[in-house]
Amino acid sequence: MKCSRNIFANRVGEYVYAWTLAEGKPSSGVRACVISTHGARFHGGYFSWPNVELVFYGPEGASLVQPISTDIIGVLTETYPNYETMKRGPYPDYFLSKYQGPDETYEFLGDLPVHVAHRYSIRRPEERPASPPHPEAVALYADSGIPAYKDLVSRHGVWTMDVITVRRRGLKVATRLSTLIKTLHRHGYHYHTIHCDFCRSPLLPFREPSYSPRRRHTF
């Protein structure tokens, strides 16, 4: 599936999309991804998986609030501090369901390289990443009908993480984090670092706390 511009929404199994710069595979040289979904803690569930580290943006039991909850670009450009990194299992398991809607449309995801490049371009030079623009991003936008997009990506098109989303198919409304990782691996998407941009609140919440990564505060 090709979206509004050039990024690929690759179907991975029945319930997952991997948004990458290459058709049917991860972006070249990229070993990290960010999962953009709704999330809820699968109570008592844990799993293990070799050579994977999970990065979380809020504490166990809490939901995420704006801006991170609606700002996938901020995660991709490392705007928000990590709350916790788990370098080995057992990892807590979560139910994941489709997040995309008015706050994060498929059309928006289809132009992620442009949005990422724009976010980097408005930073001060000393705050920009040392990495060069990703060659696949530059190549994809080389024939863009919008010269400003081509120029922006050629100068600031850094791409360090692919994006993973969950599809809603029929009666299937959620999958588990453990199942998602296994599905990615089975189809050749072998990410070492997985950024978890979803809430960690209980499946049946009752006044669960909220967490703001920007303020580093739970309330």
The reported pLDDT for the residue numbered 212 is 67
Contact 64, 81 (CB under 8 A): no
In a domain, 1, yes or no: no
Report how many domains make up the chain. 1
In a domain, 2, yes or no: no
Specify the pTM. Answer: 0.91
Reading the block at residue 160, the tokens are: 């360090």
CA–CA distance, 212 with 57 (Å, rounded to integer): 9
Give the chain's radius of gyration (CA, Å). 17
pLDDT band at residue 4 using 50, 70 and 90 as cut-offs: very low
The reported pLDDT for the residue numbered 3 is 42
Contact 164, 36 (CB under 8 A): yes
pLDDT digits over 96-133, tens only?
Answer: 999 999 889 999 999 999 999 999 999 999 889 889 99
The reported pLDDT for the residue numbered 219 is 44
In a domain, 184, yes or no: yes
Number of helices followed by number of strands (H, E) in the chain: 6, 13
CA–CA distance, 165 with 167 (Å, rounded to integer): 7
In a domain, 117, yes or no: yes
CA–CA distance, 104 with 108 (Å, rounded to integer): 6
In a domain, 123, yes or no: yes
Residue scoring higher pLDDT (167 or 210): 167
In a domain, 133, yes or no: yes
pLDDT digits over 35-81, tens only?
Answer: 999 999 988 899 999 999 999 999 998 888 877 878 999 999 999 99
In a domain, 137, yes or no: yes
Strands 217-218 and 210-212: antiparallel
Q: Which domain holds residue 204?
A: 8-218
